[in-house]
Amino acid sequence: MTIPVAYLWLAVGFFGQFVFFLRFVVQWWASEKEKKVVIPRVFWYLSIVGTLITLVYSIHIRDAVFMSAQTLSLFIYLRNISFG
């Protein structure tokens, strides 16, 4: 039994969104631990990885709006991590 390629690409898209979601969990956990709002460095790494995975998916589905948003976000996340 083989899985259709379309389902594998959907899994890639959902995985990218899941990694991107994890950044909020990490930020929430770090803020709770410090008892103030903090953005740990791993937040930006998760942002970059989630964005790259989602960018690959958006290129596959040929969605120009999605591609441009992910690309622009990537530059922001890379810039933010360079401040650390």
Per-residue model confidence as pLDDT tens digits over 23-67:
999 999 999 999 999 999 999 999 999 999 999 999 999 999 999
The structure tokens listed for 58 are 């958006």
What is the share, in percent, of the chain residues with pLDDT greater than 90?
A: 93
Q: For tokens 């401040």, what's the residue?
A: 83
Is pLDDT of 1 > 80? no
pLDDT at 20: 92
The span from the CA of 15 to the CA of 84, in Å, is 27
